[in-house]
């Protein structure tokens, strides 16, 4: 009886996996047809199953998988299934979907990985440190005392600006 149950369970799991796999392939094919899939891009290849990825979340628009070089244990990348290069390029509604998933992942980190803080980071362009040109956000679980030197760096590089200085930059920023 137990064996039967286990066999049944494994058949059920297998068919769930196959269905998921089928759905994933359908999404990838749709994106390929729309030209929003770049076979030279490592993240597109991970989505496609051509490179290994450790996924924690997938839906029609967004996927999340573990960063291969974790800055903190649990460091996760959240990406659109469509290939967009950066923040200037990604559709706003897709970016909103990415952020929804970043929130889900953040809560998982707090509930299951003992995180008590989260950094959500993004880089666009080489000067900002972008190395993979498929839009993504990093979700970083933080714990008191993990000390990345991050906050120290931030405060050592920033200064208290005068109101005039802020206004002058704001004017330039919003000029037409
Ligand atoms: P960026 O520097 O563009 O903001 O972040 C790219 C991230 O992708 C880096 O944190 C890097 O560790 C990660 N990464 C690069 N190649 C791979 C890979 O093949 N698999 C996974 N899972 N992450 C990768
Ligand atoms: Zn891509």
Residue closest via CA to ligand 1's atom 12 equals: 69
pTM of the model: 0.85
Q: Report which bound ligand comes closest to the CA of 36.
A: 2
Q: How far from the centroid of its chain's Cα atoms is residue 13's Cα?
A: 26
How many CB atoms sit inside 10 A of residue 103's CB?
14
What's the topology of domain 35-159? Answer: HIT family, subunit A (3.30.428)
The bridge status of strand 62-66 relative to strand 55-58 is antiparallel
Residues 156 and 10: their CA atoms lie apart, in Å, by 55
Residues 95 and 80: their CA atoms lie apart, in Å, by 8
Tell me the HSE value of 104 on the side-chain side, using a 13 A CA sphere.
16
Residues 29 and 26: their CA atoms lie apart, in Å, by 5
Q: Report which bound ligand comes closest to the CA of 86.
A: 1
Residues with CB under 6 A from ligand 1: 42, 51, 53, 65-69, 77, 123, 129-132
Catalytic residue numbers, as ranges: 136
pLDDT of residue 142: 96
Task: Pick the atom of ligand 1 nearest to 129's CA.
Answer: 2
Task: Pick the atom of ligand 1 nearest to 54's CA.
Answer: 22
Full pLDDT tens readout for the chain, 176 residues: 434 333 333 433 444 556 677 777 777 776 666 667 788 999 999 999 999 999 999 999 999 999 999 999 999 999 999 999 999 999 999 999 999 999 999 999 999 999 999 999 999 999 999 999 999 999 999 999 897 788 888 888 899 999 999 999 999 999 99
CA of 172 to the centre of ligand 1 (A): 34
Per-residue pLDDT reduced to its tens digit, 29-60: 766 666 677 889 999 999 999 999 999 999 99
Angle in degrees, CA 48, 63, 79, rounded to 5: 95
Q: At 63, phi and psi to the nearest 5?
A: -135, 155
């Amino acid at each position: 009886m137990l064996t039967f149950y286990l066999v049944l369970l494994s058949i059920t799991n297998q068919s769930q996996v196959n269905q998921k796999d089928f759905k994933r392939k359908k999404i990838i094919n749709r994106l390929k047809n729309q030209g929003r899939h770049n076979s030279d891009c490592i993240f597109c290849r991970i989505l496609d199953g051509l490179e290994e990825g450790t996924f924690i979340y997938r839906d029609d628009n967004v996927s999340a998988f573990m960063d291969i070089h974790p800055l903190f244990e649990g460091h996760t990348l959240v990406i659109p299934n469509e290939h967009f290069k950066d923040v200037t390029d990604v559709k706003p509604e897709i970016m909103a979907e990415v952020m929804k998933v970043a929130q889900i992942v953040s809560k998982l980190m707090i509930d299951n990985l003992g995180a008590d803080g989260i950094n959500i980071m993004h880089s666009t362009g080489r000067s900002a440190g972008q190395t993979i040109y498929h839009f993504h956000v990093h979700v970083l679980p933080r714990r008191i005392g993990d000390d990345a030197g991050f906050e120290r760096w931030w405060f050592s590089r920033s200064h208290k600006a005068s109101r005039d200085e802020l206004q002058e930059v704001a004017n330039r920023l919003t000029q037409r």
